[in-house]
Amino acid sequence: MEHVEQKGARVPAIGLGTWKLQGADCYDAVTHALSIGYRHIDTAQAYANEEQVGQGMADAAVPRSEVWLTTKVWVDNAAREDVRPAVQGSLRRLGTGYVDLLLLHWPAPDVAVTETLGAMSELVDEGLTRYVGVSNFPSAYAREAETVADVLTNQVEYHPYLSQEAVLAEAERDGHSVTAYSPLAHGRVTNDRTIRQVAAGYGKTPAQVTLRWLIQQPRVVAIPRSVHRLRHAENLDVFDFELSDDDMKTMASLARPDGRLIDPSFAPPWD
């Protein structure tokens, strides 16, 4: 396992995403992923699966201290007085005394990012989370968050079809990481001719070269999701090869203006 080291944290470069995983599927995915070597799990209040994630972590034979656990504060809980009780609820459902990383899931439409991030930072001092960060933050918003919080990561949609140049530049400037969500573009990379060609050159799958392309960039972590055991293994098997500079460029050249997959009505103005 490779790690991304920023601001004193050591984050496993591949984590298991759990959006849309519910009930037994979620529990099985977490226990299986941990059993084969995953040490990073990504959940959120909004995924309504924190209990299953917590139960899976409790039943996997891996010490809590060896797992990087991220959850996210939903925008309805972004007001200063709501942050602590919401996070206490997450911890209760997850069955743990702390998370490693607490993110603000989206910039809240009606609450200043400085208010929420300020309240989240207080939870670091209280030991409820080790680090705080943001998600779906355009670069200017991230810069604002940095004025009140030591931002560890900006979790954003990132895959070969979507350039995140401005977010990456801001991450480099501040020294935080970028966590790539929807790293497989919801599985679309598997049918891409160009990516299939790159993959064939390494004897790897399109998903594997896509994840490799992401984590081979400085400060980038990726959190693919799958309900399938074989794909958990496939998505973790990306540490025994390196893409050439030419192939890194080929993958990056697939970015296009309409490449964004997740763009809800409450999204901020993107870079």
Ligand X SMILES: NC(=O)c1ccc[n+]([C@@H]2O[C@H](COP(=O)([O-])OP(=O)(O)OC[C@H]3O[C@@H](n4cnc5c(N)ncnc54)[C@H](OP(=O)(O)O)[C@@H]3O)[C@@H](O)[C@H]2O)c1
At closest approach, how far in Å is the CB of 125 from ligand X?
A: 25
Determine which residue in the list 6, 13, 17, 199 makes contact with ligand X, applying CB under 6 A.
Answer: 17
Is residue 235 within the footprint of ligand X (CB under 6 A)? yes
CB burial class (10 A; 0-12, 13-18, 19+) of residue 45?
A: buried
User: Does residue 210 belong to the site contacting ligand X (CB under 6 A)?
Assistant: no
Nearest approach, Cβ of residue 98 and ligand X (Å):
19
Q: For ligand X, which residue of 3, 84, 229, 231 counts as binding (CB under 6 A)?
A: 231
184-192 long-range CB contacts below 8 Å, 24 or more apart?
Answer: 184/159, 184/210, 184/211, 184/224, 185/159, 185/160, 185/161, 185/210, 185/259, 185/261, 186/261, 188/161, 189/159, 189/160, 192/160, 192/254
47 catalytically annotated? yes
Q: Which of 9, 3, 49 minimizes the C-alpha distance to 130? A: 9
Q: Closer CB to ligand X, residue 15 or residue 61?
A: 15
**Interaction between residue 154 and ligand X (CB under 6 A):** no
> Which residue number places its CB atom closest to ligand X?
17
Which of 77, 116, 136, 164 lies at the binding interface for ligand X (CB under 6 A)?
136
**Residue count at the site for ligand X (CB under 6 A)?**
27
Verify binding: residue 54, ligand X, rule CB under 6 A. Answer: no
What phi and psi, each to the nearest 5 degrees, are found at residue 13? -65, -25
Measured between alpha carbons, how far is 86 from 70 in angstroms, rounded to an integer?
14
The Cα 221–Cα 241 span in angstroms is: 17
Which spans of this chain sit near ligand X (rule: CB under 6 A)? 17-19, 42, 105, 135-136, 155, 181-187, 190, 207, 223-228, 231, 234-235, 262
Active site (catalytic) residues: 47
